[in-house]
Amino acid sequence: MVRQRQSENPKSETRNPKSLVGVIMGSKSDWETMRATSEMLTRFGVAHECHVMSAHRTPALASEFAGTAESRGIEIIIAAAGGAAHLAGVMAAHTVLPVLGVPMKSDALNGLDSLLATVQMPAGIPVATLAIGKAGATNAALLAIAILASSRPALRKKLRAFRAEQEKKIRETTLD
């Protein structure tokens, strides 16, 4: 099933022709973490869609999504998976769009398995891999925003404001 979430609307089930970012995850169990990606993209007003599809369980759907993403206007794919996490690599195999991989924290190895499976792509097909779990999910959105912002001055301005806000918070932090 193709599941779209945009602006936290879990009811919509169709692909969004205006999406700039496709957020893909291997299982619904990844959504708790990947919600952070969607929330950050929404915060910056970046149109996106979120789907559950798997390199193992729905290989045809995954390759079809990646293979048609560019023609549908998607500019960046964020792919999250855990364990033997091939999803980002499979996405990258089917598109020349930038693919950002987010390793999910796994029960067995705390995400080290996911990290290595996502990051260790052989030369020729790159996947830009973020940190394990929620930090990676958040940063995947911010990296996607930074890439999009290179040709969108308004988005770049928002990104600078976001950084300034973070800096201000740290500078104003006081300890008891």
User: What CA–CA distance (Å, rounded) separates 85 from 97?
Assistant: 19
Phi, psi (degrees; rounded to nearest 5) at 113 = -60, -45
| 3 state DSSP class of 55 | coil
For ligand RP5, give the closer residue by CB, 102 or 147: 102
SS (H, E, C) 117-153: HHHCCCCCCCCEECCCCHHHHHHHHHHHHHHHHCCCH
- In angstroms, give the least distance from the CB of 175 to ligand RP5: 37
- In angstroms, give the least distance from the CB of 81 to ligand RP5: 4
For ligand RP5, give the closer residue by CB, 26 or 101: 26
Q: Which tokens is 22 given?
A: 């496709």
For ligand RP5, give the closer residue by CB, 22 or 82: 82
- In angstroms, give the least distance from the CB of 137 to ligand RP5: 12
Q: Which tokens is 125 given?
A: 């097909």
For ligand RP5, give the closer residue by CB, 41 or 132: 132
Return the half-sphere exposure (C-beta side, CA atoms, 13 A cut-off) of residue 145.
27
User: What CA–CA distance (Å, rounded) separates 2 from 123?
Assistant: 31
For ligand RP5, give the closer residue by CB, 29 or 120: 29
User: What CA–CA distance (Å, rounded) separates 90 from 16?
Assistant: 22
- In angstroms, give the least distance from the CB of 22 to ligand RP5: 15
Binding site residues, ligand RP5, CB under 6 A: 25-27, 29-30, 54, 81-83, 104
